[in-house]
């Protein structure tokens, strides 16, 4: 074989296994890492509802993983290419599923992925916000699964969690998730992947929301900002749609901004006349493109395609979007020539009439501390306790004694969190049961204080020592202390604004997810009425 033939064959083989150039962030812009060209998202939200058919459901999961069904990826990726899509947003993936083939198809098509870290049953809920072991396990498992693919741009730690002034305290929990996911990526030595947030467009809290997630320290602020906006309807324009104000408001923002969702359907069919403006000179110096909502037609009537009886049909919206996308060719700056000028973080919100989330964030989930705590107790929740019984007991126990639940409570408006507020529900209940039990034991009523009709039991406590002792000493007997010692004896005091520093070794979790109904906590927890565990 001639040397030239060998070289050609080698080049073909190398090309067949090539991966997309990773997207990196510099200042307020995205760039292709290798060639330094500015990256603008031509995105589509790609996730089908459970009730609509198609997709992959595994085990008892109540959502369809759009990147785990190879047949659907083979069907849809060419259509995404037809729309000149270079990014899809997925709202929930199964971290235990195999995504290799779909991610390779997307890679070959030049399509990147931004993934929400939550899923319907495991997410930060505005009415009962929390940031605990179960959520941490979910978020980090998604990171672990998608970090292996170079066409993963990054992750959303939340989507429209605080959507009006009545629930802004929930943002403290989302921001804690941003902080800890960023720290996890760094601790695992993964390549650069951003962690951001997708916000709705509520005029009353818009400015406070934007500033809150971009204030404090770099370790806890967002890496990019997704703005879900539906204000351009029909034949609107740059000024009437409010896009002009968006450009003005974000002209000095320190991280990339893009439309996390767009595509008003008040006027149908959607002709997507906004596309030319989004990718034109009026906006590309500030915004990095956007993500059309959405690919699949569902009851909300935002689809580009409709699937019935397993057959797919392109809708009028598909053709209009295709026509508009064919016209755009945004040009930006080269990474080497770009000198970021927007480097300052925002000032945290001070308008308490509309903003209730403290700068002080909930503690980082620390499985070692929670495990140490449970082993040290004399009274714990029974292993056979049901989820319903678990929820009912919080409402009972927390009202029985003085500050029984202080160590597990969370008040995001005041920035006050119990050291064990990040433990899983059963661990938290065990702490509350033990606190009540010890109070009753001092009164001579200990014999009856750890039973609750079989839901609680006594155990021989393990003497804490070593790092367990350090952790629990900082937590304090009542659980209201601030824990700064990380797992395995390390210490990290780099975060003065957070209730707990980032662990230098991020814990991994093996327990199953516990899904609970709303707990009645009898006014023990503050924030948005009550913090539901």
Write the CATH number for 179. 1.20.58.1040
Confidence of residue 124 (pLDDT cuts 50, 70, 90): very high
Structural domain tally of the chain?
A: 1
Question: Does 532 score more than 60 pLDDT?
Answer: no
N-to-C CA span, the chain: 69
- pTM over 0.75? The answer is yes
Quote the mean pLDDT of the chain: 87
CB 356 within 8 A of CB 307: no
Question: Does 533 score more than 70 pLDDT?
Answer: no
The answer to the question of residue 32 being in a domain is: no
The answer to the question of residue 294 being in a domain is: no
The answer to the question of residue 59 being in a domain is: no
- Active site positions, annotated: 160, 261
- 334 has which bridge partners? 37
* Average pLDDT of the residues in 248-273: 97
pLDDT of residue 61: 66
DSSP 247: H
pLDDT of residue 511: 28
Range from 258-272, 453-467, 513-527 that averages highest in pLDDT? 258-272
CB 88 within 8 A of CB 45: yes
pLDDT of residue 18: 56
pLDDT tens per residue across span 126-175: 999 999 999 999 999 999 999 999 999 999 999 999 999 999 999 999 99
**Dihedral sign from CA coordinates of 105, 108, 110, 116:** positive
Question: Does 497 score more than 90 pLDDT?
Answer: no
The answer to the question of residue 316 being in a domain is: no
DSSP helix/strand/coil, 41? strand
| Other beta carbons less than 10 A from residue 368's beta carbon | 17
The answer to the question of residue 153 being in a domain is: no
Give the integer Cα–Cα distance in Å for 224 and 89: 14
pLDDT tens per residue across span 285-295: 999 999 999 99
pLDDT tens per residue across span 55-104: 444 445 679 999 999 999 999 999 999 999 999 999 999 999 999 999 99
Tally the C-alpha atoms within 13 A of residue 151's C-alpha that lie toward its C-beta.
Answer: 24
pLDDT of residue 487: 55
Confidence of residue 522 (pLDDT cuts 50, 70, 90): very low
CB 262 within 8 A of CB 292: yes
pLDDT of residue 508: 31
The answer to the question of residue 155 being in a domain is: no
pLDDT of residue 444: 87
pLDDT tens per residue across span 4-24: 443 434 433 333 345 899 999
The answer to the question of residue 392 being in a domain is: yes
Domain limits at 523?
122-137+164-196+212-223+358-533
The answer to the question of residue 278 being in a domain is: no
φ, ψ of residue 321 to 5 degrees: the values are -65, -40
pLDDT of residue 515: 32
């Amino acid at each position: 074989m001639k040397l030239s033939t060998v070289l050609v064959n080698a080049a073909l083989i190398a090309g067949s296994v090539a991966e997309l150039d990773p997207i990196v962030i510099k200042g307020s812009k995205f760039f292709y890492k290798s060639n330094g060209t500015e990256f603008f998202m031509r995105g589509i939200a790609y996730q089908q509802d459970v009730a609509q058919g198609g997709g992959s459901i595994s085990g008892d999961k109540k959502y369809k993983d759009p990147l785990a069904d190879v047949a659907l990826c083979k069907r849809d990726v060419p259509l995404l290419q037809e729309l000149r899509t270079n990014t899809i947003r997925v709202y929930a993936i199964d971290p235990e599923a195999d995504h290799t083939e779909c991610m390779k198809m997307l890679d070959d098509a030049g399509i990147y992925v931004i993934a929400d870290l939550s899923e319907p049953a495991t997410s930060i809920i505005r009415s009962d916000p929390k940031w605990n072991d179960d959520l941490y396990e979910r978020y980090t498992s998604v990171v672990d699964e998608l970090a292996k693919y170079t066409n993963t741009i990054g992750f959303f730690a939340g989507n429209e969690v605080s959507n009006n002034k009545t629930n802004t305290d929930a943002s403290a929990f989302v921001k804690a998730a941003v902080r800890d996911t960023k720290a996890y990526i760094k601790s695992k030595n993964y390549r650069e992947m951003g962690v951001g947030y997708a916000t709705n467009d509520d005029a009353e809290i818009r400015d406070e929301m934007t500033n809150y997630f971009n204030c404090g320290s770099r370790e806890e602020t967002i890496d990019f900002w997704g703005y879900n906006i539906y204000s351009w309807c029909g034949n609107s324009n740059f000024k009437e749609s409010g896009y002009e104000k968006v450009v003005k408001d974000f002209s000095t923002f320190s991280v990339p901004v893009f439309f996390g969702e767009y595509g008003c359907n008040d006027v149908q069919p959607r002709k997507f006349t906004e596309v030319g403006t989004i990718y034109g000179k009026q906006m590309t110096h500030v915004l990095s493109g956007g993500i059309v909502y959405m690919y699949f037609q569902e009851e909300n009537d935002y689809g580009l395609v409709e699937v019935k009886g397993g057959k797919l049909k392109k809708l009028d919206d598909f053709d209009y979007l295709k026509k508009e996308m064919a016209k755009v060719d945004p040009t930006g700056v080269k990474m080497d020539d770009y000198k970021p000028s927007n480097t300052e973080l925002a000032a945290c919100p001070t308008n308490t009439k509309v903003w209730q989330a403290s700068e002080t964030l909930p503690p980082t989930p620390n499985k070692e501390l929670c495990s140490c705590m449970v082993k040290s107790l004399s009274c714990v929740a029974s292993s056979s306790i049901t989820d319903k019984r678990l929820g009912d007991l919080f409402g009972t126990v927390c009202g029985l004694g003085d500050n029984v639940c202080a160590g597990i409570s969370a008040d995001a408006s005041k920035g006050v969190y119990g050291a064990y507020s990040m433990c899983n529900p059963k661990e938290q209940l065990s702490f509350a049961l033990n606190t009540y039990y010890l109070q009753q034991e001092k009164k001579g009523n200990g014999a009856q204080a750890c039973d609750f009709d079989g839901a609680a039991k006594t155990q021989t406590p393990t003497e804490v020592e070593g790092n367990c002792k350090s952790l629990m000493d900082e937590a304090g007997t009542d659980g209201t202390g601030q824990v700064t010692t990380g797992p395995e004896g390390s210490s990290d005091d780099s975060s003065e604004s957070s209730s707990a520093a980032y662990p230098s070794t991020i814990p991994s979790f093996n327990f199953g997810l516990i899904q609970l109904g709303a707990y009645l906590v009898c006014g023990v927890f503050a924030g948005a009425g009550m913090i539901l565990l």
